[in-house]
Structure 1
Amino acid sequence: MKVTLSYGKPSNKSWKVKGGDANTLFANLNKNGFWGRYRSNGSASWSGKGAKIDTVKLTAKPVVLMPSWTEYSKVKAGQKSWDKMWKALKKHEDNHHTIFDTSAKAFKKKLEAEGDLDPKDMKKVWETYQKDAQKLQDDYDKKSKHGKNEGVILDAW
């Protein structure tokens, strides 16, 4: 079976957050439900002759969404704290991409070793992969407390 992976590094996008002081900024970061976010936006397609799958393509358009503090240039006192938090958050979100990349490569290897699959079995294998890959992401967030254990905190100023 021929298996291809098609994706690159995540594109970077931002969302705006307001706050003229640490408490307001913190509260507004929390209103969103997340500070940063990673999405692989992965999908798979497969084809073959008859009942046998011979080609599988896993594609993704990964995105890292990061906060952009609208008052950054006006609040000098908070810049050091923001920069430290933002750097740790970016690393955390990039780690999510590494987890995706590792799991996608393992999925490819597993499929190549699997051999013959019919479309029904392939659908089950894909669904299992998606659940397992999401569990890896969730376990990472649980272990890191969504990055807090890695420095994703906003110090008061």
Structure 2
Amino acid sequence: AYAEPSVIYDKSGITKLFKIPGIYKGCFMIESLLQSTLECFYNQTCINQLNSYLLSNSSLDVKALDSSLTSRFVEKSTMEELINKLLIEQWNLSMIHENYYNACQPISCIYSYTTRNDIIYTLTIVIGLVGGIIEILKFVIPPVIQSFAQYWFKTK
């Protein structure tokens, strides 16, 4: 993508007054933005000069970003880098379910567990059922046959 440094020109559009460090212009606004950096915004002189050209009738008190603060981003990090990292300096993962529960105070807590029964699981269940039925029949059939045999012989 084509992008070139942004420049502020005089009213005639011929004389360059100020080249804005880190700010780019190009064919597409989004590509220019993604290639730009916050370099100028870390420099109070640059901000003041930019302010003087852009806001000639009003004064806006804009302070420079503090480069002494610890950050994983540097002054010349592109906007694309910042956006790709979601502008997040550090993730603080702290999962305390009690705090979540106390904050939300749900009336009830329900969850579901979904499984897919594959062939091995199904085969294991069938074998288990057949084995269980066989064991039950080992205890039930002999007394039933014995009772039937006694009834049969008594009636003859």
Structure holding more helix per residue: 1
Rg larger in structure = 2
TM range, normalised to the smaller chain? under 0.3
TM-score, scaled relative to structure 2: 0.21
TM-score, scaled relative to structure 1: 0.21
Higher relative contact order (Cα pairs below 8 Å, separated by 6+ residues): 1
